[in-house]
Amino acid sequence: MNDLLIFSAIGLIIMVLGLLLLKREKRLFKDPVTTHATVVNYYNYIDPSASHIRTMYTMAVEYCLPDGQVIHAREQEGSTNKKYAVGTEIDIVYSREKPDFFIVKGDKSRMRILYGMIVTGILMLAVGIITVINGG
Protein backbone atom coordinates (compact mmCIF):
# COMPACT_ATOMS: atom_id res chain seq x y z
CA MET A 1 0.00 0.00 0.00
CA ASN A 2 2.77 2.45 0.93
CA ASP A 3 4.65 1.56 -2.24
CA LEU A 4 1.56 2.40 -4.30
CA LEU A 5 1.22 5.74 -2.56
CA ILE A 6 4.85 6.55 -3.31
CA PHE A 7 4.38 5.38 -6.93
CA SER A 8 1.27 7.58 -7.29
CA ALA A 9 2.96 10.56 -5.63
CA ILE A 10 5.91 10.29 -8.01
CA GLY A 11 3.45 10.12 -10.91
CA LEU A 12 1.68 13.23 -9.64
CA ILE A 13 4.99 15.09 -9.31
CA ILE A 14 6.06 14.10 -12.85
CA MET A 15 2.68 15.18 -14.24
CA VAL A 16 2.69 18.55 -12.44
CA LEU A 17 6.31 19.21 -13.43
CA GLY A 18 5.47 18.40 -17.05
CA LEU A 19 2.47 20.75 -16.97
CA LEU A 20 4.51 23.59 -15.46
CA LEU A 21 7.33 23.18 -17.98
CA LEU A 22 4.81 22.99 -20.85
CA LYS A 23 3.15 26.20 -19.64
CA ARG A 24 6.57 27.91 -19.50
CA GLU A 25 7.49 26.67 -22.98
CA LYS A 26 4.20 27.90 -24.46
CA ARG A 27 4.64 31.29 -22.76
CA LEU A 28 8.20 31.73 -23.99
CA PHE A 29 7.34 30.75 -27.55
CA LYS A 30 3.93 32.43 -27.75
CA ASP A 31 5.22 35.09 -30.17
CA PRO A 32 8.61 33.78 -31.36
CA VAL A 33 11.07 35.28 -33.82
CA THR A 34 12.51 33.20 -36.68
CA THR A 35 16.04 33.96 -37.83
CA HIS A 36 19.20 32.40 -39.24
CA ALA A 37 21.91 31.24 -36.87
CA THR A 38 25.38 29.82 -37.36
CA VAL A 39 26.59 26.76 -35.46
CA VAL A 40 29.78 27.98 -33.76
CA ASN A 41 30.73 25.24 -31.33
CA TYR A 42 29.77 22.06 -29.52
CA TYR A 43 30.18 21.51 -25.80
CA ASN A 44 30.51 17.92 -24.70
CA TYR A 45 29.96 16.27 -21.36
CA ILE A 46 29.66 12.77 -19.98
CA ASP A 47 26.10 11.69 -19.14
CA PRO A 48 26.37 10.27 -15.60
CA SER A 49 22.85 8.80 -15.68
CA ALA A 50 23.58 6.47 -18.58
CA SER A 51 24.14 2.78 -17.88
CA HIS A 52 27.44 3.08 -19.75
CA ILE A 53 29.66 6.07 -20.39
CA ARG A 54 28.05 8.24 -23.03
CA THR A 55 29.29 11.54 -24.41
CA MET A 56 26.57 14.15 -24.95
CA TYR A 57 26.91 17.23 -27.17
CA THR A 58 25.24 20.61 -26.76
CA MET A 59 25.23 22.87 -29.81
CA ALA A 60 26.13 26.56 -29.52
CA VAL A 61 24.89 29.04 -32.12
CA GLU A 62 25.31 32.72 -32.88
CA TYR A 63 22.61 34.99 -34.27
CA CYS A 64 21.71 38.67 -34.43
CA LEU A 65 18.71 40.35 -32.87
CA PRO A 66 16.88 43.04 -34.86
CA ASP A 67 18.74 45.73 -32.86
CA GLY A 68 22.09 44.29 -34.00
CA GLN A 69 22.98 42.61 -30.71
CA VAL A 70 24.82 39.31 -31.29
CA ILE A 71 23.60 36.40 -29.19
CA HIS A 72 25.78 33.38 -28.43
CA ALA A 73 23.51 30.70 -26.98
CA ARG A 74 23.62 27.02 -26.16
CA GLU A 75 20.91 24.60 -27.13
CA GLN A 76 18.77 23.59 -24.15
CA GLU A 77 19.08 19.87 -24.74
CA GLY A 78 21.97 17.56 -25.43
CA SER A 79 22.35 14.90 -28.10
CA THR A 80 24.55 11.85 -28.52
CA ASN A 81 25.70 13.15 -31.90
CA LYS A 82 26.57 16.49 -33.44
CA LYS A 83 23.50 17.46 -35.46
CA TYR A 84 25.15 20.04 -37.73
CA ALA A 85 28.74 20.79 -38.68
CA VAL A 86 30.35 23.86 -37.14
CA GLY A 87 29.84 26.74 -39.57
CA THR A 88 26.47 25.48 -40.81
CA GLU A 89 23.70 28.08 -41.05
CA ILE A 90 20.37 26.88 -39.63
CA ASP A 91 16.94 28.40 -39.06
CA ILE A 92 16.01 28.87 -35.43
CA VAL A 93 13.10 30.25 -33.45
CA TYR A 94 13.91 32.29 -30.34
CA SER A 95 11.82 33.77 -27.56
CA ARG A 96 11.13 37.52 -27.56
CA GLU A 97 10.97 37.35 -23.77
CA LYS A 98 14.27 35.50 -23.45
CA PRO A 99 16.29 35.99 -26.68
CA ASP A 100 19.01 33.50 -25.71
CA PHE A 101 16.39 30.72 -25.49
CA PHE A 102 16.02 29.08 -28.91
CA ILE A 103 14.99 25.92 -30.68
CA VAL A 104 15.88 24.72 -34.16
CA LYS A 105 12.93 25.56 -36.41
CA GLY A 106 10.68 22.53 -36.81
CA ASP A 107 12.21 20.62 -33.87
CA LYS A 108 9.36 19.21 -31.78
CA SER A 109 11.44 16.98 -29.49
CA ARG A 110 11.08 19.25 -26.44
CA MET A 111 7.29 19.26 -26.76
CA ARG A 112 7.25 15.46 -27.16
CA ILE A 113 9.29 15.10 -23.97
CA LEU A 114 6.96 17.40 -22.04
CA TYR A 115 3.82 15.63 -23.26
CA GLY A 116 5.52 12.32 -22.48
CA MET A 117 6.16 13.47 -18.91
CA ILE A 118 2.51 14.45 -18.49
CA VAL A 119 1.18 11.15 -19.90
CA THR A 120 3.66 9.09 -17.84
CA GLY A 121 2.65 10.96 -14.69
CA ILE A 122 -1.07 10.46 -15.39
CA LEU A 123 -0.55 6.73 -16.03
CA MET A 124 1.48 6.27 -12.85
CA LEU A 125 -1.13 8.14 -10.82
CA ALA A 126 -3.99 6.17 -12.40
CA VAL A 127 -2.31 2.78 -11.84
CA GLY A 128 -1.77 3.64 -8.18
CA ILE A 129 -5.34 4.85 -7.64
CA ILE A 130 -6.96 1.94 -9.52
CA THR A 131 -4.86 -0.60 -7.64
CA VAL A 132 -5.83 0.93 -4.28
CA ILE A 133 -9.53 1.03 -5.26
CA ASN A 134 -9.41 -2.63 -6.31
CA GLY A 135 -7.93 -3.57 -2.94
CA GLY A 136 -4.39 -4.12 -4.18
Residue pair 136/4 in contact (Cβ under 8 Å)? The answer is: yes
Integer CA distances (angstroms), 26 to 7, 32, 95, 100, 114, in order = 29, 10, 10, 16, 11
pLDDT values of the chain reduced to their tens digit, one per residue, 136 residues: 678 888 999 999 999 999 999 999 999 889 999 999 999 999 998 877 667 778 889 999 999 999 999 999 999 888 888 989 999 999 999 999 999 999 999 888 888 999 999 999 999 999 988 888 887 6
Radius of gyration of the chain (CA): 19
Question: In this predicted structure, what is the pLDDT of residue 5?
Answer: 85
Question: In this predicted structure, what is the pLDDT of residue 129?
Answer: 87
Instruction: Record the pTM.
Output: 0.75
**Total domains in the fold of the chain:** 1
Question: In this predicted structure, what is the pLDDT of residue 42?
Answer: 96
Question: In this predicted structure, what is the pLDDT of residue 58?
Answer: 93
- Name the residue type at position 2: N
Give the span between the Cα atoms of 68 and 65, in whole angstroms.
Answer: 5
Q: Could you tell me the residue range of the domain that residue 104 belongs to?
A: 2-133
Q: Residue 63 phi/psi, 5° resolution?
A: -155, 165
